[in-house]
């Protein structure tokens, strides 16, 4: 092969690599790093904050966590996986009947970095359709991708579907295996501040949500004693379905990248 041919092949390879980096890493820099078009916290006025829960619905833990919230007059936002919602539609309806909000975490927990543009959009559209069918035509308002990682296609398609992109201001380590109850309780106490969007999990391998279920009532009681109100994301953001997202602060060193 001639030198020109090798050069062209090298340029093509470099262009392909650059496009792949832009699609994945570039999207994360834009949305996670710079916080452009992503919600990570709400207004600080009013003493309100939002507890959000990823990875459900779980037939055991989702209902238990929802009941704990309701015992303190609190409401949460549950970012569900459509594949799980399809298996457990009654759990999703129970959330709505309890005054909680149902949002979208994805069709399943496959990272968007491993999903091409066409497949990313197809799975998002299918996930929204699944939730609409369970919730009598009601469409979720918010989308948080698995692990908090974006790609360009999914972000664009989410906006086309009217979904607002959400991450978090605090992510207590309930997703880690064997997190001690005292450590999780401490992280929850630190997260209790007006405007916070707290990322938690109502599902996981084995009985991983057990520790959260044990320490959540204490956090709810503490929040209430501080005059805080636990509300849904829509309530926290005064969301009418059309407001522009706040520009989020950049992600800080050491903050979790799991969910």
- Whether the CB-CB separation of 188 and 215 falls below 8 Å is answered with yes
- Whether the CB-CB separation of 22 and 47 falls below 8 Å is answered with no
CA-based torsion, 51, 53, 57, 62: positive or negative: negative
Spatial distance between the Cα atoms of 218 and 28, rounded to a whole number of angstroms: 35
Other C-beta atoms lying within 10 Å of the C-beta of residue 74: 23
Of 54, 58, 174, 202, the active-site residue reads 54
Let me know if 54 is a catalytic residue: yes
Let me know if 149 is a catalytic residue: no
Q: Buried b vs exposed e over 128-153: b needs ≥16 C-beta within 10 Å?
A: bebbeebbeeeebbbbbbbbbbbbbb
Of 100, 105, 187, 201, the active-site residue reads 201
Residues labelled catalytic: 54, 201
């Amino acid at each position: 092969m001639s030198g020109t041919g090798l050069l062209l092949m090298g340029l093509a390879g470099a262009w392909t690599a650059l496009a792949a980096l832009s699609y994945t890493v570039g999207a994360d820099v834009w949305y996670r790093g710079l916080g452009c078009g992503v919600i990570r916290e709400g207004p600080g006025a009013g003493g309100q904050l939002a507890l959000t829960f990823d990875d459900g619905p779980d037939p055991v833990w989702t209902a238990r966590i929802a009941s704990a919230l309701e015992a303190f007059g609190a409401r949460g936002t549950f970012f569900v996986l459509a594949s799980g919602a399809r298996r457990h539609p009654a759990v999703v309806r129970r959330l709505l009947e309890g005054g909680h909000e149902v949002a979208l975490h994805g069709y399943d927990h496959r990272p968007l970095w491993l999903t091409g543009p066409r497949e990313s959009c197809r799975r998002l559209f299918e996930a929204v359709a699944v939730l609409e069918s369970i919730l009598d035509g009601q469409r979720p308002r918010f989308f948080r991708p698995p692990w908090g990682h974006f790609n360009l296609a999914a972000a664009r398609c989410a906006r086309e579907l009217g979904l607002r992109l959400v991450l978090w201001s605090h992510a207590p380590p309930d997703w880690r295996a064997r997190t001690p109850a005292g450590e999780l309780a401490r992280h929850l106490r630190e997260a209790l501040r007006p405007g916070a969007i707290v990322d938690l999990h109502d599902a996981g391998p084995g009985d991983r949500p057990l520790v959260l279920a044990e320490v959540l009532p204490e956090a709810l009681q503490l929040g209430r004693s501080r005059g805080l109100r636990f509300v849904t994301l829509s309530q926290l953001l005064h969301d009418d379905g059309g407001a522009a997202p706040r520009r989020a602060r950049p992600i800080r060193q050491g903050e979790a990248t799991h969910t």
